[in-house]
Amino acid sequence: MPVNIAAIILAAGRSCRMGTQKLLLPLGGQTVIENIVDRILAGGVRQLVVVVGPQGSTDSMAITEALADRPLAIVHNSDPQGEMLSSVRCGVHALPPDCEAAMVVLGDQPSITSALVKQVVAAHRSQNCGIVLPICGGKRGHPTIISARYFGEILTRHDGVGLRGLLEAHAEDIFELVMTDPLLLADMDHPADYQRHLSAMSKSLPNKGSSG
């Protein structure tokens, strides 16, 4: 029987290094966050929790509005300046009760593909491991799938080290899915990062000027 996997999409950051809210930047005719949500849905994950900043903040309202027509839940992190673990915890609290595993997704990973989502999900369902994550060139990335048996630990431990602490504590229960394209796992903090993702997307689009 397939494992019921829900996605936690982390979208609470203030994008200080980008100089503007990076999740609302245009990418392929949509915003970055819309692209990411649509890739997750196209990858077959149907239950999505998007963690945004404090209720009433400009960024959280704008992100919520951008995603208004998608089937997902919005939850608020009242401390977006805290470590990423605080947003993961907000997402875990909001997961449906029948959730057996959570896929943690970065809201600023715009080159994620539905194929990558499907690969990570398939690996979690086929491997006897509680944690599945992609790796490229020795560097681990997201999306990371974590079994529900670790939810309690996420909520109560690893302050100061975040999910890295969970991975270190359960190294024997991790399956690494080897990838060949580092951009798939790259996040986006600075304007130059955004330009790299824009360039990659433009190259992947069909050339409308060609014939035949």
Task: Write out the DSSP string of 160-211.
Answer: TTTHHHHHHHTGGGEEEEE-S-GGGG----SHHHHHHHHHHHHHHS--TT--
Instruction: State yes or no: pLDDT of 121 exceeds 90.
Output: yes
pLDDT for 210: 38
Q: What is the pLDDT of residues 43-84, one digit of tens each?
A: 999 999 999 999 999 999 999 999 999 999 999 999 877 789
Q: What is the pLDDT of residues 94-108, one digit of tens each?
A: 999 999 999 999 999
Instruction: State yes or no: pLDDT of 40 exceeds 50.
Output: yes
How far is the CA of 161 from the CAs of 83, 106, 134, 179, in angstroms? 9, 17, 20, 25
Supply the range of the domain harboring residue 125. 5-201
Q: Which structure tokens are listed for 189?
A: 């903090």
Q: Given pLDDT bands bounded at 50, 70 and 90, which one contains residue 137?
A: very high
**Of 205 and 130, which is predicted with more confidence?**
130
pLDDT for 185: 93
Task: Specify if 69 maps to a domain.
Answer: yes
d(CA 125, CA 2): 7
Task: Specify if 66 maps to a domain.
Answer: yes
Alpha helices in the chain (DSSP H): 32-42, 58-66, 84-93, 114-126, 151-156, 163-169, 191-204
Task: Specify if 102 maps to a domain.
Answer: yes
Q: What is the pTM of this model?
A: 0.93
Task: Specify if 211 maps to a domain.
Answer: no
Task: Specify if 42 maps to a domain.
Answer: yes
Contact (CB, 8 A) for 11 and 49: no
pLDDT for 212: 35
- Count the domains in the chain: 1
CATH number of the domain where residue 148 is located: 3.90.550.10
Give the chain's mean pLDDT: 92
